[in-house]
Amino acid sequence: MENRNQTTLPLSPSEMTIQPIGIIHTPFYGKEEAPVQGAFQPEAVGMVEVFPEFSAALKDIEAFTHLYLIYRFDRAGEIELVRAPFLDDEPHGIFATRHPCRPNGLGLSVVRLLSREVNVLRVAGIDVLDATPLIDIKPYIPRFDSYPDAGEGWLTDKESRSKPSGRE
């Protein structure tokens, strides 16, 4: 995360501030190593550390098998509204992709919950860089969230591949 000193910034009427509730620890230290999507590397294990002051908010989370993590892409490059994503060479609108360089810089992943130890969740299928700031955790509930027949848009027939080099 940007390590700036305490400062004051003007807030426009519609701006809102958010604050990390924890940190996601993963084995991915550089952008080249992180998988394009967690679903492509379901065995990748990470530790979701929730700050102790939010530990109580995890009560009963261990009864879920899958969770949503919302986090901040804190090392993303410049925002471009239309760009070629990792899985395609054609440019698409950023809201039609999951690319990190997006307005507000929030990421979303579904992970498998393996275990919980107090304020630390062990999860699988994680695809973020180590030390990514965690913004929210929500339970994944198949009745609300599972749409196996949804279309895949431009991702139809796109297979996992390495991130094209030299491209953010």
Distance CA 154, CA 26 (A): 29
CB of 127 to its own copies, least distance (A): 9
Distance CA 17, CA 47 (A): 25
Identify which of residues 23 and 45 has a Cβ nearer to its own copies in the complex.
23
Distance CA 121, CA 132 (A): 15
Identify which of residues 7 and 162 has a Cβ nearer to its own copies in the complex.
7
CB of 30 to its own copies, least distance (A): 22
* Residue listed under structure tokens 């899985």: 87
Distance CA 81, CA 152 (A): 20
Identify which of residues 45 and 105 has a Cβ nearer to its own copies in the complex.
105
Identify which of residues 45 and 58 has a Cβ nearer to its own copies in the complex.
58
CB neighbours of residue 53 within 10 Å: 9
Distance CA 124, CA 52 (A): 22
Identify which of residues 45 and 92 has a Cβ nearer to its own copies in the complex.
92
CB of 75 to its own copies, least distance (A): 13
CB neighbours of residue 129 within 10 Å: 20
Distance CA 63, CA 139 (A): 10
